[in-house]
Amino acid sequence: MTTDLDTLVTALYVKIDDKIGGTRRPGRPPLLSDSELICLAVAQALLGHHSEARWLRFAHAHLSGMFPYLPERPGYGYRASHSRFFWGLRLYLVCTPAGMPIMWALANPKIGEREVLAAMLEIDAKLVADRDGVLLISDKGFASKPFEETLAKQGIELLRPSRKREKQRHGEPMLKKVRQLIESVNDTLKGQLDLEHHGGRTFEGVAVRVAQRILAMAAAIWHNNKTDAPITRSLIAYDH
């Protein structure tokens, strides 16, 4: 455990508990609150524990002071022989230039990319409505004049590479640098947060583990920004 991780988990707990801590459900209060559960999930992702069983052993040994109640055993484990799963799902992620996740979705790969993005923007319409104009950068898969006209009506300008036989689009020269940023975000999720080794065995399990890693990256960026870290998307201080 590092002091930085302790500080991050503590700050995240306070932030989350301020938002949801006052919510009460019928019946006895849970032994492990929602705020504690989310903080534990972030810590698990940052420390790279794929197995829930091993993670709970680690948490009992190192985190019991911060989390008085921890379950003794998880409902399922992780088999190293099945470390890679393909569930036929595609991850869509919208980030700020700093890499902070804004929207995300898991979708059947048979669903068109533009259809998924349209649904994301419909569900989170307030995110766009609260901003005075949005620049959205994508790849060629989102090319469509009707789709871009629909985005424009929502105050969204789409910046993408030009297709074959299409004139160079405005702002296209800057896409090379943006592509490096996108690959860097992907590398953070796949490399440091082991996104491809999530261990989920059901749709719900995959969705929870993807959310866990996206939240971990967002929490690290948020905390680094609050502490004036030189590189806001660096997870090095928390992943060991």
For residue 189, what are the contacts with CB-CB under 8 A and spacing of at least 6? 195, 213, 214, 217
Tens digit of each residue's pLDDT (9 = 90 or more) over 160-217 = 888 888 888 877 777 877 888 888 888 888 888 888 887 777 778 888 889 999 999 9
Domain boundaries, the chain: 3-85+202-226, 90-187
pTM of the model: 0.72
Q: How far apart are CA 197 and CA 239, in angstroms?
A: 16
The answer on pLDDT for 94 being more than 90 is yes
Residue with tokens 């209060």: 29
Give me the pLDDT at residue 24, please.
61
DSSP 60: H
32 Rama class: left (phi>0) / alpha (psi -120 to 50) / beta: beta
Residue with tokens 């866990």: 212
Tens digit of each residue's pLDDT (9 = 90 or more) over 99-158 = 899 999 998 888 889 999 999 999 988 888 888 888 898 888 888 999 999 999 999 999
